[in-house]
Amino acid sequence: MALTLKAMEYFTTALRHGSIAKAAAELNIAASAVSSAIDQVEAEFDLTLVIRQRARGIKANAAGRDVARKCEHLLEDYQSLLLEGTALKQSQSGTLKIGYYAPIAPAFLPQVFDAFLSNTADATLELEECNNDDAQDGLLNGTYDAILFVAEGVRPSIEFDTLITAPPYCLLPKAHPLARFDAVTMAQIAKEPLVVLNRPVAASYYEGLFQSGTRQAPVVAYANSTEMVRSLVAAERGCAILNMLPLTNETYGGASVVARPISDTLPPLTLALGYDSTRPRRIVQDFAQACRDHFGKTGPTQCIISG
């Protein structure tokens, strides 16, 4: 029979009072429950720990005093653990680990953090860019507290909030003839050399936007980072199709690009937030709310382009 915390509490309370009846009154339980707890502790150690004195209450022997002292230490540690656990759940302190498959996350994550982390919050941020599958693996195995990822192809075991649906847009060199239009069509894009973001989910998605046999110009480059795609487009290697939009038109190389909506009706990609919503720490809960608030506002900070 395993020794329970409840039995230890009843045992130590009875010895502190020297009376089963007084312990029962303090604990608001039946005296028989206290007596049974004493029996359970003695049976667990196979020792007589308590001297029962008729009409004079109870008294611990030497072994009983030793066991009672250790039980009290365990109960104090247990209460301390509960308090620390409650503080951890409610605190904005500690480490917040976020995995993201969102190439332009640097455009919005700092603003999200500013919205809920005060300057005095003792929090450490651990941010890791990863692919869509690794982000979901990391959430499931506890590597990440929260993930930002593309919800297309999400695993059934992942709970998520949709932050925004991002329609595809065309990225063009600033001097490109199509940049003069307010919007472009897939038929126009099909005639242009294409730079493709070669990331899981993304590459097949962009390929699927073209109807079979309609693309007339080749793919001139595959790049696995959004900024490399943008830099190649700025250098007039071709145009590109992307979904989320940084807050600047300038690339790392100093040249500029132009984003234009695509007038065709096309499927968007969904930026989602995954986290364990059943028992989140406060810092995770606040991060999730800050993400929802950020993308709930209209304007350029949503990082998408509307048709």
Q: What are the tens digits of pLDDT across the range 161-183?
A: 999 999 999 999 999 999 999 99
What are the contacts of 187-192 at 24+ separation with CB within 8 A? 187/214, 189/239, 189/241, 189/262, 190/214, 190/215, 190/216, 190/217, 191/216, 191/217, 192/217, 192/238, 192/239
In a domain, 77, yes or no: yes
Domain that holds residue 204: 168-261
Pair (172, 257) in one structural domain = yes
Mean pLDDT of 15-26: 89
pLDDT digits (tens, 9 = 90+) for 101-155: 988 899 999 999 988 887 546 788 999 999 899 999 999 999 999 999 999 889 9
Token output for 44: 């667990």
**Number of separate domains in the chain:** 3
Pair (254, 177) in one structural domain = yes
pLDDT at 307: 59
In a domain, 268, yes or no: no
- Say which range, 2-6, 171-175, 237-241, 261-265, has the weakest mean pLDDT: 2-6
Higher-scoring residue by pLDDT: 192, 116: 192
DSSP per-residue letters across 180-197: GSSSB-HHHHTTS-EEEE
Pair (248, 286) in one structural domain = no
pLDDT at 268: 94
pLDDT at residue 305 above 90?
no
pLDDT digits (tens, 9 = 90+) for 202-231: 888 888 888 776 778 888 999 989 999 999
In a domain, 32, yes or no: yes
Pair (158, 175) in one structural domain = no
